[in-house]
Amino acid sequence: MALLKLIQIEFFKLRRRKFLWMMMFSALIMPFLSYLLFKYAWSTGGDPVQFYKWSAFGLTLFIVLPVVLGILSSMLMYNENQYDMLKQIWIVPVSKMRYFFSKFFVVLIYSICFMIVTALGSVIFSILLDDLALDWHNTLFLIRKCLEIGIITAFAMLPILAIATTQNGYILPVSITLVYAFLGSIIVSINMYIHPLSSMALIVARNGDIPGLNDTQVISIPLAFFSIFVWGIGSVLLANVALARRK
């Protein structure tokens, strides 16, 4: 119950933050650009998955969502540091790990909402295309994959949330977020088990049902989960040490 109370407080603090709504709007960027691409330049050949690959399973998966979550993580930690509120929080007292996981669950819920908006935007813009054979099977496939991306990406971003706990500002965590996201998209073609984001992509495309993703590598889903788990445990330990030093 204490953790739920902390999560509720986090949302109360964020409800008037305009940047949250601006970042949520970015969930529609790739569906809109995909619509323009397939409307005026390419053809889907009637296959909705080809459209979804660009609108939700491409740059949104590797770049847009990780960058948005990295910025959110940095801002969540920056708010308390900016007004020196941690001393008051520790006096209450609040468990440092509960404090950290309350931030994580905010990131998790935001990530799921972001991908739901992406899924809805993809469906709406795909309806505007004339050559797509849309049906419930493809729509449910899109929603299921978007929910998977929203959940797993939040765990893959734990290292950025942990780094944010070690900093008083937000510039360095945001900068590291950009490097982290682009590195994940680069490493995916070399070894998908080194970076949490590339492991996340492997899990999402585990059945080979997203064309062009991880077609050339041997797939081990347990190893991909293990990679995210190891990075997650390391991140929690780092956050625990960093918060313990903040008096």
Q: Give residue 136's pLDDT.
A: 83
Cα 188-67-173 angle, rounded to 5 deg: 105
pLDDT tens track for 55-113:
888 888 889 999 999 999 988 888 777 666 666 676 667 788 888 898 999 999 999 99
Asked if residue 192 has pLDDT above 90, the reply is no
Arithmetic mean of pLDDT, 43-59: 82
Q: pLDDT: is 187 or 115 the higher one?
A: 115
Q: Give residue 190's pLDDT.
A: 77
Judge whether 75 and 160 are in contact, CB under 8 Å: no
Asked if residue 151 has pLDDT above 80, the reply is yes
Residues sharing a CB contact under 8 Å with residue 62, sequence separation 6 or more, in sequence order: 181, 184, 185, 188, 197, 201
Q: Give residue 49's pLDDT.
A: 82
Residues sharing a CB contact under 8 Å with residue 153, sequence separation 6 or more, in sequence order: 61, 65, 66, 69, 111, 197, 200
- Distance (Å, whole) CA 92 – CA 104: 20
Read off the pTM: 0.89
Report DSSP state, residue 28. G
pLDDT tens track for 198-241:
899 888 888 777 766 655 666 788 999 999 999 999 999 999 88
- Distance (Å, whole) CA 247 – CA 237: 18
Q: Give residue 178's pLDDT.
A: 92
Q: Give residue 77's pLDDT.
A: 83
Arithmetic mean of pLDDT, 13-42: 85
Residues sharing a CB contact under 8 Å with residue 41, sequence separation 6 or more, in sequence order: none
Q: Is 46 left (phi over 0), alpha (psi -120 to 50) or beta?
A: left
| 82 three-class SS | helix
